[in-house]
Amino acid sequence: MTTYTARPIEPAVLAELRVGDDAGRPCLPFTATDAEDGSPLRCCLRNIVEGDRIALVSYAPLRRWAAVTGAAPGAYDEQGPVFVHAGECGGPVAEPESYPFDRPGALRTLRRYDAEGRIVGGRLLEIPAEATAGFDEGFAEAFADPRVALVHVRAVEYGCFQFEVRREA
């Protein structure tokens, strides 16, 4: 069982991204082939399987969070490609046993942000065999700093946003 909650992209945001993405481009759905098989879906936090109806959209997670919280991330606002289902998918399963996209040996950056959306540190994580424990340790370390409001998990290989964890209220 995970200690922290991995957050998918919110349903209301997904509805917007399925029309036009955060770079202003229209959503162009397609059917996944074996080329996309295993890539992460940020709407339900599972991997793509061949035949899924998906879209590759540009997403700005910090910008979206800042719009809700009133933060001003300035130059730290960035956008990048993420896969989502082209239609509603029901989101992730409740009470996950592990963190999404937790392949041992994969490299992740746990990027820390303060309440204004500015980077206040980060950590490189090579996902260990005990992946859940490795993520729990990384998040505990991040949230031990009282300035940290949220953590973005990103793939090192492509820089892609994987998921977000927020400080529990």
Contact 54, 94 (CB under 8 A): no
pLDDT of residue 102: 94
* Residue 17 banded pLDDT, cuts 50, 70, 90: very high
Mean pLDDT of the 23-30 span? 97
Q: How buried is 155 (Cβ within 10 angstroms: 0-12 exposed, 13-18 middle, 19+ buried)?
A: middle
Residue 23, CA distances (Å) to 3, 27, 30 in order: 34, 11, 19
% of the chain beyond a pLDDT of 90 = 89
Helix (H, G, I), strand (E, B) or coil at 43: coil
* Residue 19 banded pLDDT, cuts 50, 70, 90: very high
Length of the chain equals 169
- Mean per-residue pLDDT over the chain, rounded: 95
% of the chain beyond a pLDDT of 70 = 98
**At CA 76, angle to CA 83 and CA 85, rounded to 5?**
10
pLDDT in tens, 69-109: 999 999 999 999 999 999 999 899 767 789 999 999 999 99
pLDDT of residue 76: 93
* Residue 16 banded pLDDT, cuts 50, 70, 90: very high
Residue that wins the pLDDT comparison between 15 and 94: 15
